[in-house]
Structure formats: structure tokens, C-alpha cells
Structure 1
Amino acid sequence: MLAELADSLIAGRPLTDVFSRYSSLKLVGLDDTAISTAYRRALHKRQNSASDEKGSSIRAKVGVVDVSDNLTSNDDVFHQLYQKRWGELRPLVVHDVARSPAEQMKTDEGWAREVASGARPATLRFWHWAGPAVVVGRFQSIEREVDIRAARQEGFDIVRRSTGGGAMFIKPGDAITYSLYAPKGFVASLPVDESFRLCDQWLVDALRDLGIDAFFSGTNDIASAQGKIGGAAQRLFPPVGGGPGALLHHVTLAYDIDEEKMGRILKTSSEKMSDKSVKSAVKRVAPIKRQKNIPFETLFSYLETYAKLSYN
């Protein structure tokens, strides 16, 4: 059965076709997109960790073509791809109204599903938070990540977003957030880390133009030498009613941070602290305000204008 699943993934056939032939098995809690993403990501990492000779042997055995995996193997090729795909996408840039944390989560998923059905064009939405919140990832345990009692005492809403990733501590005026809703084809053929880079390269360029030496860190973080500036998360939605399907990609940048309050509301496991080689989650964050003396609204408008001038 595993071989059939691998063949279906490589050929792009629905995994449900394989499961339908095994009546005793059910696909629970995942869909084709989630399994396909996990498979390709694991395969990509396996290839990169192997030697060139061993990697070639692996690819030959499973029949994977190298074109997509090596598509962005150097900066020149990536730059060409980046310009081409953003030039074709030309998203509508929207400065949205402030909404409650729960409304923002609902809007994010709703707009993505509208793009998936073809009812909404590609859109880059800049938005404000109407209240403080702790936002947990799609697969996280709230009890393990958040001191619920402390959050409620401080007036923080606890909401769950539709994408994966870690918990975020949000205060209005301390975070800059934007969401990209694009047809699935925008990130077609790209490994996961490169899909994040494609979506956020413009942001890294904009921060560098401000004098902040920003760079990509890991799969989905944006950082500087001082520490983490922001993080991204994304999710693919299947086509609806003949539509193109959609990518939801959203980013939260730390403009400032209330370290004491964050430390009381968010829980940080000893495993996480050991992995990151730091004493606390707070010390991993380097807010923009502490790196560049620029007012919040000025920075917000700058990023919005940068995106408009670049892609409209």
C-alpha cells in the first residue's frame, strides 16, 4: 500500500483512490494536500541530507524528476522565478479595517476559500488587531501553550488559526500582520521552504531597504543578527466549484513586545528552550522598534506602499 501511495503522490493522483481499495482503512484528520506536503517535504530533506551520489540513487529509485527540487537552487534562478510568478499574480493590495482576533481568523480562512473557488482575485491584505490575543496553531494544544487563566485576567482572547505553526502573543500596535491569498499554482512545484521564500522575499527586501539586515531563518521565520523578527504560516485549500484552489500565507512581524506579560501568558517547554539554546522565548525575539527608530504607522504604511509599488 505504501508503494501505491508513493506512486500516486508522484503522479499527482488523489490519495483517496488508493484508500478506496482498502475498505478497512480510513483517512482521518488529514487530506490529500497535508499528506502530499509532508511526503514531499520529507523527501526533499532526505535528498538534501544525503551525498550527491546517494541522493541521485534515491531519486532514481522513486522516479522523482530533479527539476522542481532544484528549481531555486541558486539566487539567479530564484530571482527569475520570483519576478515571473509575482508579475503574473499581481495581487490586489488591501488595507483592511481592524477586526477582533476571532473575526480576523474567520476572514483569513474565508478569503482563502473565496480564492479557491475563483470568487476572489489574488489579494495581499494588511490588517490590524482590534484587541490583544494569543493565537495558537491549527494543531496545537491550547492548554500546553497558554496559561489560560493569566490570558483571561489580562483581557487576551485565545483564538486558533487555520494554519500550523506555533503560538503568537499579540497586542494591537505591537504587531504588523499581512495575509496573501493566491491561487495554488503560485507555489506549484516548489518545496515548502522555497514557497515561504517566494511569498516573503519582498518583505525581506523592504526591511533591508530600511537598514535592517533581514534574512530567512529555518523554513518560515524572518530574522536578523539580533534575533527573530517574525514568522509565517501557510495552508493550501483544494479547488472549489472549478476554481483554482488557494494558498493562504500569513505573516506576523514583531514591532514591539511586552516581555513580562508574554512570559506570564505563554508557556515555554524545556525541550523548546534546549533546542533553541536560549533561556526563554522572549530572548529569541528582536522587535523592529528596537532595531530601527520608526513609528508603527509609518512602518505599516511603508510596507503596504512597497508592496503596491512592486506588484500593482
Structure 2
Amino acid sequence: MSRTFWHEHDWQLVHTHAQSPSMHMALDEVLTAEVSAGRRPPTLRVWEWASPAVVIGRFQSLRNEVDADGANRHGIEVVRRISGGGAMFIEPGNTITYSICAPLSLVKDLSFQEAYQLMDAWVIEALAELGVQASYQPLNDITSPAGKIAGAAQARRGNAVLHHVTMAYDIDTAKMLEVLRIGREKLSDKGTASAAKRVDPLRSQTGLSREAVIARMIDTFRRSHGLRDDALTTDELDRAQGLAKDKFSTGAWTADVP
């Protein structure tokens, strides 16, 4: 297998109605498997969230990351994804999330840092066009002079790589600190005001609606790499629904640390 480049692939866009947190986790697994098997072209999937969530990385400890009482009090579902990285606090109107399911050849012979930087370059370009001085910060952050904007995670499965990014469009810092333990520990001696500075949302930096930011991102990807509108197949949806129920909604998976 030789390395390939963006323009050599027939990129598809999947941007559909809102899904539950567990369904999003399942769709990442299913679509990555489909790209790996060659049954689906490389895909950019822009997520819409049906409900709030905390998404923890594959290798994180649920107990260390999440305050269960805080999550229950705010009606926030906790799910575990198949990629690594840190915990993400999600509220539907405040979050922009996307994943790229690509052939492994796109990142062949690249270090993990190089792979993250490659996969984030297009969105940094899109943000620049919106007036945001965004940059890649190793290993898995997109940041600006005003603060962190996004966190990324990757997983390599078979012949495919999954690159998953969650961006802060807006954020309820007080609620986040009631739900995430790690953020609380990092900020315990600095107060909530400092928490807002650690993550600087795109709403304040652009003045645009969430939908307008997403539209610019999609336009930039389309212009840079080519992108055709697509939809999930019935088989993909059926398989994801099964995984969401039997795996990603279960306490056994959410609490599991390999």
C-alpha cells in the first residue's frame, strides 16, 4: 500500500438529522468498518446531537473523568467512543462535531502528530476564513490566541483511520465543571472565570450562527478536497442501531477500560 492524497479519493458528506449520543458512537464504528472494507467511499460526517452528553475516550476511566451525580442532575448521558483522547462535554446547540472516515493510506508513513495535523488542516483554513487565528497544537488540539477551540481523537481500524473532532461553538462552563472531574481539578485554584479562558468558543470569536460556521467548514472541505452529498444506507443505520443498543448504551462498555 502506497500513500494516497486527499484529491485521489471520492469524498462523501453525511449530514443528517440529530442522533442520540450512543448512535453517534455506533455510526463511527460502522462507517469506519465500511470504509476499511471498501464498501463506502471516504466520508466526512457532520454530527447533529439529539441530547447532551459527555463523551469519554476509549482509554479513560469513567470514574476519574465524570461526576456521576452531576451528570444525572443535568440529564447528561455518558458514552465511550472507540477513539482515544480526552473527555468532551456536549450540548446540542453549543457543539460542532465531525468525523472523517478515511483509507489508512491517507496517513501511511506519517507519525501520529503528522496524521493529526494533516486531518485538521482544512478546518484550520476554514476558521481562518472566518477571522479566527486557529492553529494545530500537538498532539490533538486546535487552538487560538483566545484559547482552545477543539479536541481531536483518532482510531485506526483495519484499512481505515477514524479522525473525530469536537469543537466548542458555545459552552456552559459552570455546568461543565459540575460534570467533568478533570476540568474541575485543573481549575480548582483558578476559579470558573479561568475555565472560560481555557476553552474559547467559536460563537464569541466569529459572531456567526452555529449553522453558518458548519456551512463554511463544509464549503472549505468541498473546495479543497471535493465533496459529494450522501446519506446513510439502510444497512448502515440498522447495524448502528444494533451497536448503539447492545454496546454503546451498556454500562459494561461505558465503564470498560482496556
TM over 0.5: yes
Which structure has the greater CA radius of gyration? 1
Residue 283 of structure 1 and its aligned partner are, at CA, apart by 3.3
Q: CA deviation at 1:293?
A: 0.5
Name the counterpart of 2:131.
211
Match of 1:266 among 177, 180, 187: 180
Q: Which amino acid aligns with 2:89?
A: F
Aligned-residue offset at 1:218 = 1.9
Aligned to 1:307: 221
Q: Does 1:166 align with 2:80?
A: no
Aligned to 1:143: 63
User: Which residue, out of 280, 285, 288, partners 2:202?
Assistant: 288
Give how far 1:97 is off. Answer: 2.2
Deviations 1:55-96 (A, max 9, x none): xxxxxxxxxxxxxxxxxxxxxxxxxx9xx7111124112212
Alpha-carbon spacing, 1:269–1:201, altered in 2? closer, same or farther (3 Å): closer
Partner of 2:242: none
In structure 2, give the amino acid aligned to 1:304. Answer: I
Instruction: Give the 3-state SS of the residue equivalent to 2:217 in structure 1.
Output: helix
AA partner of residue 103 (structure 1): M
Query: Deviation per CA, 1:95-137, whole angstroms, max 9, x where unpaired?
Result: 1221000000000111101111111111111111110000001
Give the structure 2 partner of residue 297 of structure 1. Answer: 211
Higher mean Cα deviation, 294-303 or 155-164? 294-303
Match of 1:129 in 2: 49
CA apart distance, 1:281? 4.8
In structure 1, what is the equivalent of residue 150 of structure 2?
230
Q: How far off is 1:278 after superposition?
A: 6.4
CA contact (8 A) 1:138 1:161 kept: yes
* Runs (4+) off by over 3 Å: 269-274, 277-283
Paired letter, 1:135: V
Structure 2: stretches of 5+ with no match in the other structure: 227-258
Report whether the alignment pairs 1:101 with 2:15: no
Mapped to 2, the partners of 1:118 and 1:162 lie a distance apart of 20
Classify the secondary structure of the residue corresponding to 1:173.
helix
| Aligned 8 A contact 1:263 1:282 in 2 | no
Q: SS where residue 291 of structure 1 aligns? A: helix
- Deviations 1:9-28 (Å, cap 9, x if unpaired)? xxxxxxxxxxxxxxxxxxxx
**Kept in 2: contact 1:278–1:284 (CA 8 A):** no
- Name the structure where strand makes up a greater proportion of residues: 2
**Is the CA contact 1:175–1:256 (under 8 Å) kept in the aligned structure 2?**
yes
Instruction: Give per-residue Cα distances to partners, 1:21-44, cap 9 Å, x unaligned.
Output: xxxxxxxxxxxxxxxxxxxxxxxx
- Mapped to 2, the partners of 1:270 and 1:204 lie a distance apart of 28
Mark the runs of 5 or more structure 1 residues left unpaired by the alignment.
1-80, 239-244
2:69 maps to a residue whose letter is R
1:205 and 1:144 map into 2 onto residues whose CA distance is 35
Residue among 104, 120, 138 paired with 2:40: 120
Q: Please point out which of 119, 129, 140 is paired with 1:220.
A: 140
Please say if 1:187 is aligned against 2:187.
no
User: Is residue 152 from structure 1 mapped to residue 66 from structure 2 by the alignment?
Assistant: no
- Residue of structure 2 in register with 1:27 after alignment: none
Change (3 A) 1:207 1:278: farther
Tell me how far apart the structure 1 counterparts of residues 198 and 170 of structure 2 sit (CA, whole Å). 13
Separation of aligned partners in 2, 1:290 and 1:128: 21
Aligned-pair distance for 1:268? 2.2
Q: Structure with the greater relative contact order (CA < 8 A, sep ≥ 6): 1 or 2?
A: 2
3-state DSSP class of the match of 2:13? Answer: strand
Distance 1:290 1:203 in 2: 18
